[in-house]
Structure 1
């Protein structure tokens, strides 16, 4: 988010049930919750990250490949859809175990996704 969309973005972490109301009250963009602008799974079956990338960065082959990996990692029934999905899912599942709050999780996860982006870019040769 901060790298490609808004370097000054503020993240607010609330219970999933409160995302829609906070989104409306604060003119925010909700993620991964019912009635959020980017729900966990939309009507087409895509995860929030995949939808965001398709909407804003469909011309970026690295982000599009990342979106396929994240999509597969996000849903257990799709883990075999990309060879990197199981590793990403396993590592991501550990974040709440080794962090003390959602802000720390987001910060540390940023490094993981930056590294994934760099690896894809290196392998694609762009």
Structure 2
């Protein structure tokens, strides 16, 4: 199999939640999907025989297509996209290979079934959890997600009127549960448990609940998030800056925990 035309599950997982993350399309037929109703992180469903409809939105993007076994449907769809000038790859072994390697999979029951970009709403002037949760959603659930920040008393009504999912507010589907914060609730609900995300969860929980005994990094994250909030008047501008902060935290949790730094004067 030509290397340019395919990507293995481990390599794809390494790309997810990084600046090099591809657009992931789940093209499984309904029969195969219904027998295993889970999605690879960031994947969205689309009919394989209408793949050409997505071409205008996929220009200049890296695309990975997925079917049940990584055979005819994936290779046909990827070839159609490449014929249109796109960079398209097949997930080797399809969804079966991803499952066999026990990589994270999101229950379809927790996802918006329309296929459209999701909309979320929470309290304005975010600090920690309300930046961490949008980061998780955009990096692992829906890269196209839209976030609304409104007064606390209006969150529920805005969610109802604007077809949005409320989070990090009492009574919402996604919110604190005892000592656990909303980021914890989302990891559990979306079944997104990896060593890196679980490490992040402890730090975020400690910073958000002021329990700095959970991890030595909690106080530092609190300081950075408070400083970030103080530096931006607009919540959406703060969110975009916060995405970079949590990108860095994720890469540290995944790849850099054992790295230390000690300045030493260079020899003359």
The normalised TM-score by structure 1 is: 0.87
Higher fraction of strand: 2
Does residue 1:103 correspond to 2:218, yes or no? no
Give the aligned partner of residue 90 of structure 1. 223
Higher relative contact order (CA 8 A, sep 6+): 2
Deviation at 1:58, TM superposition (A): 3.7
Residue 107 to residue 117, structure 1, CA distance change in 2 (3 Å):
same
Does residue 1:20 correspond to 2:153, yes or no? no
Greater Cα offset, 26-35 or 103-112 = 26-35
Find the structure with the greater CA-based Rg: 2
Identify unmatched segments of 5+ residues in structure 1: none
User: Partner of 1:11: helix, strand, or coil?
Assistant: strand
Q: Distance in 2 between matches of 1:59 and 1:108?
A: 25
Identify unmatched segments of 5+ residues in structure 2: 1-136, 259-268
Give the length in aligned residue pairs. 122
Deviation at 1:37, TM superposition (A): 2.0
Q: Is the 8 A contact 1:17 1:34 kept in 2?
A: no
Higher fraction of helix: 1
Q: Distance in 2 between matches of 1:3 and 1:103?
A: 16
Deviations 1:2-38 (A, max 9, x none): 1111111111110111111222222312122222222
RMSD (CA atoms): 1.7
The normalised TM-score by structure 2 is: 0.43
Does residue 1:47 correspond to 2:178, yes or no? no
Q: Is the 8 A contact 1:69 1:82 kept in 2?
A: yes
Does residue 1:112 correspond to 2:245, yes or no? yes
